Amino acid sequence: MGTVELITEHTRRLPENVQREILNFVEFMFNKYSTPLVQSIPLTTRQAGLHAGCVVMADDFDAPLSDDFWLGAE
């Protein structure tokens, strides 16, 4: 006997109010797993230069980090 048949058989033996609770749960699970997990966001074309000058890079950006940095010393 398959899973659906077992659920149906056991559910038939329960009182009406419990059957309604089971139906509510099944509908909840259906809605949870039938909707996409990732909402599709409409893609827009990017526009270069909108935030020009907002970021400044330090002069020593490429300089090696000290041993204190890597060892967690303060």
State the total domains in the chain.
1
Does any domain span residue 23?
yes
Does the reported pTM lie above 0.75?
A: no
pLDDT at 39 over 70: no
Does any domain span residue 54?
no
State pLDDT tens for residues 19-37.
Answer: 999 999 999 999 888 876 6
Does any domain span residue 52?
no
**Which amino acid would we find at residue 73?**
A
State pLDDT tens for residues 41-72.
Answer: 777 888 888 888 898 899 999 999 888 888 98
Range of the domain at 18: 1-39
Does any domain span residue 26?
yes
Please tell me the distance from the alpha carbon of residue 74 to that of residue 71, in angstroms, as a whole number.
Answer: 9
pLDDT recorded at residue 15: 95
Cβ neighbours of residue 11 under 8 Å, at least 6 residues apart?
19, 22
